[in-house]
Structure 1
Amino acid sequence: QPAVAGDGLPEKLVKYVPAETLAFFVPLAAAAGTDRPAFLIALLVVGVIGTVAYLWYAARALPDGQRPLIHFYVLAPIAFLCWAIATAPNVADLIGIDSLIAAAILTGAVFLIPITDSILTSLLTKRT
């Protein structure tokens, strides 16, 4: 569901990553550990594709005026990847960053993704 005006920034970020994606990713990423990088990369790819596919599928049930704008489907997988980096230490290890940088990525995403969404929504809805 797209973020709405009354949501705070952390609540807005959560809306970009479906619970179904997290339910898929969390246990499998934990089981992958650090000794299966190819499997972890495959999980990330499926997580990105699954995030976009699930959000698109769920949006089909919404009335036209409530469906997310196209940029939402770009921001959602970015939110998933930022979340995965910060919450799965093996993902951070995979790309060679420490826990401080991983936390900074999540913190930046909490602010920048919803703000970017709000700005783009404002610009795109003024044109229509």
Structure 2
Amino acid sequence: MNKTKVRVLIVDDQPQVRSALRLLLQVKLGAATVGEAGDLEQALELVGVEQPDLVLLDWELPAQGGGAALSELRTVCPGLAVIALSSKPEARRDALAAGADAFVSKGEPPERLMDSVGDCYRRS
């Protein structure tokens, strides 16, 4: 990656998923995790304050779902790169149609996520 450290916000309702993603990003990419949010309200607050380069967004986020969350995040921070994550590979079409920059199934190898983060970061 040709910039400094990529600044990532992780949005997932499961603390253990957030922790695993943070560790993976730090070890594999040297990324700076600027925050973790368990719901959309926390995510919106952190996006406004921290101005991350990209967001890893749980597409199955309870209460609002990924599409609504993506729309609200982009309202707060237009042009924000967002990678949708889901344990349901069939959500790929909906996530990309809603405007996610990339989609990664939680069942895919970690390298797939790292490649997507790198691609999105280079485009930003």
Report the TM-score, using the length of structure 2 for normalisation.
0.34
Higher relative contact order by CA 8 Å / sep ≥ 6: 1 or 2? 1
Which structure is higher in strand share? 2
Which structure is higher in helix share? 1
- Radius of gyration: which is bigger? 1
Report the TM-score, using the length of structure 1 for normalisation.
0.33
